[in-house]
Amino acid sequence: MKQKKMVESTISIKDSEMKSYFNQNKDSLATEAQVKASHILVADEKTAKEVKAKLDKGEDFAKLAKEYSTDTASKSDGGNLGYFKKGDMVEAFANKAFSMKVNEVSDPVKTEYGYHIIKVTGKKEAQKATYENSKAKIKQTLLDQKYQTEYPTWLQKLKKKYDITNKLDS
């Protein structure tokens, strides 16, 4: 960390470099639409319908996820999957989640993992990249790139300055 800080202090990044990087990488800096959802995953359709009936009667989604879900990664957090892009999930799951409104609970959705009951808890619209919103990310990317090329030169200068001798080679 100290070495990186020392080398980075010798690196300068011009605004023109950042703008050029932005123009060349605009598409990758944009953000796709995202959905925040929770789910209850069960093995069979009978259990899925049973859980859905309990939800329809007003039972708590998170509580039922902890009780019924077979997804060990999310069940302890009430089935919370956080935000995800469409391509992050299997197609049937993603298609359903992205077609729902916030706070809507789905009927069971079958995938190769079992039956999901999905609750959408948030949505983020896709956003085109702007230079202003991307500046910090661009600067860090360029800094990381320049660090990789500057570090060997910086290290050689230090070795010459302090006349370091490696006595372990013999």
The per-residue pLDDT for range 96-152, each reduced to its tens digit, is: 999 999 999 999 999 999 999 999 999 999 989 889 989 999 999 999 898 888 888
CATH code 3.20.20.70 for 34-124? no
Calculate the CA 46 to chain-centre distance: 33
Burial of 88 (0-12, 13-18, 19+ CB in 10 A): middle
- Closest by CA to 78, choosing from 34, 126, 117, 25, is 117
Predicted confidence band at 170 (pLDDT cuts at 50, 70, 90)?
low
Where are the domains positioned within the chain? 2-29+128-162, 34-124
Place of tokens 């060997």: 152
Q: Which residues of 61-75 are buried (b: 16+ CB within 10 A; e: fewer)?
A: beebbbebbebeebb
pTM beyond 0.85, yes or no: no
